[in-house]
A and B are shown apart, each in its own frame.
Chain A
Amino acid sequence: MNLTRRNFLGMVALQSLGSAATHFAPKAKRVIFLHQSGGPAQQDLFDWKPDLVKHRGIDLPASVRMGQRITGMTSGQSTLPVAPTIFKFAQHGRSGAWVSELLPHTAKIVDDITIVKSVHTDAINHDPAITFIQTGSQQPGRPSFGSWVSYGLGSENANLPAFVVLVSQSSGLNIDQPLFSRLWSSGFLPSNYQGIKFRSAGDPVLYLSDAPGIDRETRRRMLDNLGALNKAQADEFHDPEIETRIAQYEMAYRMQTSVPELMDLSKETDETFAMYGPDVRKPGTYASHCLLARRLVERGVRFVQLYKRGWDQHNNLPRDLRLQCEAVDQPSAALVTDLKRRGLLDDTLVVWGGEFGRTVYCQGRLTESDYGRDHHPRNFAMWFAGGGVKRGTTIGETDDFSYNIAADPIHVHDIQATLLHCLGVDHKRLTYKFQGRDFRLTDVHGEVVKKMLA
């Protein structure tokens, strides 16, 4: 099977799945992955531990840490003092989910989402951890989640990429963790499955606009001649690649219309803008990206990957976490609500979470109003909404310190298996042969988490 030469951007896929679209009936047809880069603190947002106040400032008991490794940033600290959250929690919705005061809008959608408090990962630093949750491997070289999905399922819109990436910058004052193009790279899959990063300034898609001084009629004239000359070449050489190239130029021409139409928000109502909050009209913000994500999935884009940078609160956590939540809470909730009222939530999966959680112990100085938290891979919180997942549930328990999982451990590979399952794909059968081996997103691991499924 010569996969690499005969396909083009999302038009022809399903090499692994044969002609059938999926392995079984899908609940979800598309994904919006709201990745919170840096690792949000689970104990300040979803995993409330009211009794920790009693341990405030006291060293984390060895019986809790159990010798687990910690990063080089806190392994040199003489103590690991417990820092309970300073934020208030309350129960919300019919489901009674506990949510922090930092997330008032998320609190209003708890009956539409599944909160998982017991996700765990293998990596303890940003680069390997974010690479792991996005590609299934801590080390580079593997295809990203979105690439696997666009390879497996293709696109429903020939005039837009199947897999779109949106990056918004930190709202806190700490420096952002970097991101890497490998997070949306196609790895060893052909590069037409890689994510296309939309930009917030200039052309949304690189090189989309015609050069200055080339009007549409000129462009059309050039393409007509180009097509005619390429056609003559095809008639002489009979190389199918030439026909493909002719088609690609026409698709590029259509993208030049479909992308601006996508980006044009003039038909959105004031009420919609209000839902997503004040940042929504500023290009490049997380709020504007949430609205754009809805517009993308409406148009059949298969996988929309957002990154919100700035969750790495090693210090000044109260200040920066508040700023991050102000930027993220309302648009995330609005996206779920907006999809729901348009009937899109039933077959769109929304995922919210970071690459790991944060430690219960304080990094740096612990004061009345200030603390920092280091990376914590052993448990963290994510939430899921839409196509195929339960609504109004909280899954997983952690110990009294939010340091170890007490019930329902769910590994990153399990999350990946479960999301693929919702898309109608058996994670063990979505494979690609590279260097002689059938690779999968979930490596040789991953179990579908039945508890999460509707």
Chain B
Amino acid sequence: MLAIFVLLAAAPDFVKDVRPILSDRCFACHGPDDNRRMANVRLDTKEGIAQALAKIEPRVAHDKKALRMPPPGSPELTPAQIATLKNWIASGGEWRSHWSFDPPQRAVPPNVPGATPIDKFIRARLDREKLVPAPRADRATLLRRASLDLTGLPPTPAELSAYLADSSPRAYEKAIDRLLASPHYGERMALHWLDLARYADTHGYHIDSHRDMWAWRDWVIGAFNKNLPYDKFTVWQLAGDLLPNPTPEQILATGFNRNHMINYEGGAIPEEYLVEYVVDRVEATSNVWMGLTMGCARCHDHKYDPIRQRDFYRFFAFFNTVREKGLDGQKGNAEPLLRLPEPAQKARLDAVATRIAELEDWQDRANIPALQRDWEAQAKFPAAPESSPEGKLAASIRVKIGARLDTVPTTIFEEPVRVWIDGGEAIGRNRRGSYLYVARDGRVERTRKQFVTGEWMNVAVSGGALYIDGERAETQPISGVVIPAVHTRGSREDPRQFARSLTLDEIRVLARHEPARLALAVPESKRSKDQRQTLFEYFSAHAGPESVRQVHAELAALYREREDLLYEIPSAMVMGEMAIPRETKILARGDYRNGTEAVSAQTPGFLPPLPKDAPPNRLGLAQWLVSREHPLTARVAVNRFWHMLFGTGLVKTVEDFGSQGEVPVHPELLDWLAVEFMESGWDVKRIVKLMAMSDAYQRSSKATPALVERDPDNRLLVRGPRFRLPAEFVRDNALAAAGLLNAKIGGPSVAPYQPSGVWEDIAYGDTFSAQRYQQDHGDKLYRRSMYTFWKRTAPPPGLATFDAPDREKCIARRALTNTPLQALVLLNDPTYVEAARVLAANAMATPDPLQAMYRRTLARNPTPRESQLLRAQFVKQLSVYRNWKAGADELLSVGEAPVPAKIDRAALAAWTTVASTILNLDETVTKQ
């Protein structure tokens, strides 16, 4: 790519032409790494080059291969590269610092035609290249492009009609304003941020069970929608907890640096992972805000950029202060946490806590142990019914089933009737409550309510009825449940069988009195903690004075309420400082075992110093990043927005603004945008709108073979952008076109269709959450794809196939592949088959189904040729399905969305094949 520009340059430009060669081919041995520098020659500094200049040409152009640089074994310089170096040396060997490390200056836009300053910069370049910009795209194409870029969704038919009907000169700008004001704009912007933030719903390492970071994800969406200025957006995420009197929102924002993977593999060494977490924060933070690859300096000085190993650990020290454990996360979120109650929840939680404290205080003063001892000395219990080991008419047992998610049903009784307890309900949560099931004559009944698991309970059956803790448990018939295989787990005590039916009173004796009687029978010194608790509970509930019993009853209800509240109240992992931070040492070769010299938090020396009044912690670091003097933050941010809209950044390597990154194609434009962004108060919507309003963005993306040859990647911006949609929008677009999309924003992640085995093949048994996939139903199947539950070790296959990253690490730029597996997804994944069916059904309710499908999917009408081909397909398929009713029925059975009752099923099947063809078009999965 660079070649175009090199050939056009008269004398080589150091920044654009020379430095990239030196960096890529020479710096590894003659660059910033003090420990590996060969022959004491240094080519990354002004002084180094001044000293070495005379030696460069003889060595790179040496006749003898053995003496030629780069040395044998490394790839050789091309003749063009050697020529560039020769010309540069001949012209005096000018040196300039790396472009992105100097602060951006606002350039004056060139005095050429152009609708916006952006266009003037681009036009000046096109004029130099003697290229003529492409005309404006047609209006419908443009509306679809902007809608997909700014909201990730296609325009609705109504939006399209309204736009086409608006002939005012400001119609396009109004459309852009409408899109920027849409709540889906925040989702679109957040999606990219989630890649950068390595957001996921599981911990990533080893067992990879669930976490709950969706509240943080929702904060990001909201921040973009509210247009929180990028400087605040930055400070809150990096250090919201360190602001004076931080709001919950500011603390929640710091979840950014808790999104990294967390480990609790048995036997792993905590110190090792504490280091990995902090390394991840350094890598993500430096990459997201500065486009620097600081991670390269973990083990040794950076080979290309002036980042020493010491700089790495000084940066590391900013993040090595979190109140966290090396191994954590077994039960979901790892400390530090932010609980996020609604105001009413908060008020109730406080009230419950106050009342609990009062009552516990009363208990402490009530001299209960002495009263209990007196009772124990002469305790009497009602007689239990006589059991008989072979009895088959009634049974009783005490069980405690683990509270963790377990989708394998646990058998409680096999006789006299089969009773079992099911697994949890949601894939992302630890189990809270479970239903019990009873099988009678092959039919299954289920309890009306769920029972809390993780606590001891008595289960009894007699006369065909089910009793829990001495109360009749109501059941109702349920269809579609198969009697599972026998599988027992959890703790079990005191199983008894009876040769006759039991009365309710007898069952209550078993449930309430017998556990205490058995515990009391154990000598006091040998009682387990459970047994002591059983006795205390029994005394307080049944045997003590009335006041004790009353307080106990109230407390039991309050404990239960508190537990319910805490379970309901979501949390997120956030940053939180230790009272005494860990000491940070330079780690030789990056190994946690090899700590050497202690260092304190500091920013790299080649960048401006921390502002004078900034504290030497994360807050100071964040303020430093968004200071006007910082050369990287604004450039990296505006380049990323450009990348979103234009498909390629002004610096293509959006993740690398260092020496090895691409030199910008339009450096003055990048700097102009960066300064504009800062001076506008870091106004994201404003800068995005500026880009969307440029002529360059609005150009037609049609090319000619000659133009593709000349500028295959459209770096000069002669034409408009044309790129395949990101994975999530490929699916969202199909759901939206079909009319299936559930536009709800935020909330816990959901589990849409997924083939069996994707998780289970690699999962760790049943003990932990997120090991068995439990698909959701109803409108959760049609949420936007960014809400799909993201399991890092087994990402959703339909999205991963379209290059969605696994979210293990910060990713600034996705790959964009084009594979046969993508074809299989779009053709055969039930998601898309169902979308085609519903698109067809909705279209059949209009006078012209084909036109309706085109407008909903592509925001345009079909061409005559398209109509002819697809109508012929419909006619042919109609005759196929008229003669193959079963085939039509099978096709219409894909997906859970209902089929309209009074519809011509053969016609619907035939239109479904047409809709599927449309959903598979290159144009459908492309913004153009």
Please determine whether B764 and A175 come into contact, CB atoms closer than 8 angstroms: yes
Q: Is A21 at the interface (CB under 8 A from chain B)?
A: no
Q: Which residue in chain B gives the minimum CB-CB distance to A127? A: B206
Given A176-B764, A178-B763, A205-B824 in contact, is the A141-B655 Cβ separation under 8 Å? no
Please determine whether A435 and B655 come into contact, CB atoms closer than 8 angstroms: yes
Among the listed B702, B827, B873, which residue makes an inter-chain contact with A238, where contact means beta carbons less than 8 Å apart? Answer: B702
* C-alpha gap A100/B792 in the complex (Å): 39
Please determine whether B267 and A375 come into contact, CB atoms closer than 8 angstroms: yes
Contact residues, B765-805 vs A (CB, 8 A): 765, 767, 792-795, 797-798, 800-801, 803
Given A241-B922, A428-B73 in contact, is the A178-B793 Cβ separation under 8 Å? yes
Contact residues, A1-35 vs B (CB, 8 A): 2, 4-5, 7-9
Please determine whether B265 and A218 come into contact, CB atoms closer than 8 angstroms: no
Q: Which residue in chain B gives the minimum CB-CB distance to A436? A: B660
Given A205-B824, A238-B702 in contact, is the A178-B208 Cβ separation under 8 Å? yes
Q: Is B853 at the interface (CB under 8 A from chain A)?
A: no
Please determine whether A437 and B921 come into contact, CB atoms closer than 8 angstroms: no
Please determine whether B877 and A191 come into contact, CB atoms closer than 8 angstroms: no
* C-alpha gap A209/B891 in the complex (Å): 13
Binds A, one of B411-419, B441-449, B452-460, B754-762: B754-762
Q: Which residue in chain B gives the minimum CB-CB distance to A158? A: B820
Q: Is B816 at the interface (CB under 8 A from chain A)?
A: yes
Q: Is B659 at the interface (CB under 8 A from chain A)?
A: yes
Please determine whether B704 and A226 come into contact, CB atoms closer than 8 angstroms: no
Please determine whether A241 and B821 come into contact, CB atoms closer than 8 angstroms: no
Q: Is B204 at the interface (CB under 8 A from chain A)?
A: yes
Among the listed B268, B764, B797, B829, which residue makes an inter-chain contact with A177, where contact means beta carbons less than 8 Å apart? Answer: B764
Given A4-B815, A178-B763, A191-B817 in contact, is the A210-B827 Cβ separation under 8 Å? yes
In the assembled complex, which residues on chain B have CB atoms less than 8 Å from the CB atom of A207? 755, 798, 821, 824-825, 827-829
Please determine whether A225 and B887 come into contact, CB atoms closer than 8 angstroms: no
Q: What 0/1 pattern do residues 589 to 600 of B give for CB contact below 8 A with A? A: 000010000000
Please determine whether B756 and A214 come into contact, CB atoms closer than 8 angstroms: no
Q: Which residue in chain A gives the minimum CB-CB distance to B655? A: A435
* C-alpha gap A197/B760 in the complex (Å): 13
Rounded to whole Å, the gap between the CB of B707 and the closest CB of chain A is 8
Q: Which residue in chain A gives the minimum CB-CB distance to B876? A: A221
Please determine whether B817 and A190 come into contact, CB atoms closer than 8 angstroms: yes
Contact residues, A199-250 vs B (CB, 8 A): 199-203, 205-215, 217-219, 221-222, 225-226, 228-230, 232-234, 236-242, 244-246, 248-249
Please determine whether B869 and A4 come into contact, CB atoms closer than 8 angstroms: no
Please determine whether B824 and A252 come into contact, CB atoms closer than 8 angstroms: yes
In the assembled complex, which residues on chain B have CB atoms less than 8 Å from the CB atom of A245? 818, 823, 922
* C-alpha gap A251/B884 in the complex (Å): 28
Contact residues, B296-320 vs A (CB, 8 A): 296, 303-304
In the assembled complex, which residues on chain A have CB atoms less than 8 Å from the CB atom of B801? 191, 206
Q: Is B806 at the interface (CB under 8 A from chain A)?
A: yes
* C-alpha gap A237/B880 in the complex (Å): 35
Rounded to whole Å, the gap between the CB of B350 and the closest CB of chain A is 39
* C-alpha gap A326/B866 in the complex (Å): 60
Please determine whether A436 and B827 come into contact, CB atoms closer than 8 angstroms: no
Given A210-B828, A233-B921, A238-B708 in contact, is the A199-B761 Cβ separation under 8 Å? yes
In the assembled complex, which residues on chain B have CB atoms less than 8 Å from the CB atom of A171? none
Please determine whether A435 and B923 come into contact, CB atoms closer than 8 angstroms: no
Q: Is B76 at the interface (CB under 8 A from chain A)?
A: no
* Interface set of A (CB-CB < 8 Å, partner B): 2, 4-5, 7-9, 69, 71-74, 124-127, 139-141, 167, 169, 175-182, 185, 190-192, 196-197, 199-203, 205-215, 217-219, 221-222, 225-226, 228-230, 232-234, 236-242, 244-246, 248-249, 251-252, 255, 374-375, 428, 433, 435-437
Closest 7 CB pairs of A and B: A436-B660, A213-B891, A71-B267, A212-B890, A213-B890, A73-B267, A180-B793
Rounded to whole Å, the gap between the CB of A359 and the closest CB of chain B is 11
* C-alpha gap A170/B821 in the complex (Å): 29
Given A206-B755, A213-B888, A218-B880 in contact, is the A2-B712 Cβ separation under 8 Å? yes
Among the listed B656, B707, B713, which residue makes an inter-chain contact with A435, where contact means beta carbons less than 8 Å apart? Answer: B656
* C-alpha gap A236/B920 in the complex (Å): 18
Chain B CB within 10 Å, residue with most, of A2, A7, A209, A436:
A436
Q: Which residue in chain B gives the minimum CB-CB distance to A255? A: B820
Chain A CB within 10 Å, residue with most, of B658, B762, B869, B913:
B762
In the assembled complex, which residues on chain A have CB atoms less than 8 Å from the CB atom of B261? 140
Rounded to whole Å, the gap between the CB of A303 and the closest CB of chain B is 17
Q: Is B894 at the interface (CB under 8 A from chain A)?
A: yes
* C-alpha gap A75/B738 in the complex (Å): 59
In the assembled complex, which residues on chain B have CB atoms less than 8 Å from the CB atom of A214? 891, 913
Please determine whether A2 and B913 come into contact, CB atoms closer than 8 angstroms: no
Q: A8-B819, A127-B265, A436-B656 are in contact. List 6 more A-B contacts (CB 8 A).
A: A197-B761, A211-B833, A222-B916, A225-B917, A230-B922, A249-B820
* C-alpha gap A214/B884 in the complex (Å): 11
- 28 cross-chain CB contacts under 8 A: A5-B816, A69-B269, A175-B765, A178-B762, A180-B793, A181-B800, A182-B792, A182-B806, A185-B806, A191-B800, A201-B756, A207-B824, A207-B828, A210-B828, A211-B827, A214-B913, A215-B880, A215-B887, A221-B877, A222-B827, A226-B921, A228-B869, A238-B705, A241-B922, A428-B73, A435-B287, A435-B656, A436-B293
Please determine whether A244 and B701 come into contact, CB atoms closer than 8 angstroms: no
Among the listed A197, A252, A435, which residue makes an inter-chain contact with B820, where contact means beta carbons less than 8 Å apart? Answer: A252
Rounded to whole Å, the gap between the CB of B850 and the closest CB of chain A is 12
Given A71-B269, A126-B265, A175-B765 in contact, is the A190-B828 Cβ separation under 8 Å? no
Please determine whether A209 and B828 come into contact, CB atoms closer than 8 angstroms: yes
* C-alpha gap A104/B800 in the complex (Å): 42
Please determine whether B208 and A9 come into contact, CB atoms closer than 8 angstroms: no
* C-alpha gap A125/B264 in the complex (Å): 11
In the assembled complex, which residues on chain B have CB atoms less than 8 Å from the CB atom of A178? 206-208, 762-764, 793
In the assembled complex, which residues on chain B have CB atoms less than 8 Å from the CB atom of A127? 205-206, 263, 265, 268
Please determine whether A249 and B793 come into contact, CB atoms closer than 8 angstroms: no
Q: What 0/1 pattern do residues 723 to 766 of B give for CB contact below 8 A with A? A: 01000000000000000000000000000000111100111110
Please determine whether A72 and B822 come into contact, CB atoms closer than 8 angstroms: no
In the assembled complex, which residues on chain A have CB atoms less than 8 Å from the CB atom of B922? 230, 233-234, 241-242, 245-246
* C-alpha gap A287/B213 in the complex (Å): 42
Rounded to whole Å, the gap between the CB of B236 and the closest CB of chain A is 27
In the assembled complex, which residues on chain A have CB atoms less than 8 Å from the CB atom of B890? 211-213
* C-alpha gap A246/B921 in the complex (Å): 10
Please determine whether A251 and B820 come into contact, CB atoms closer than 8 angstroms: yes
In the assembled complex, which residues on chain B have CB atoms less than 8 Å from the CB atom of A169? 761
Please determine whether B817 and A237 come into contact, CB atoms closer than 8 angstroms: no
Q: What 0/1 pattern do residues 266 to 300 of B give for CB contact below 8 A with A? A: 11111000001000000000010000010110000
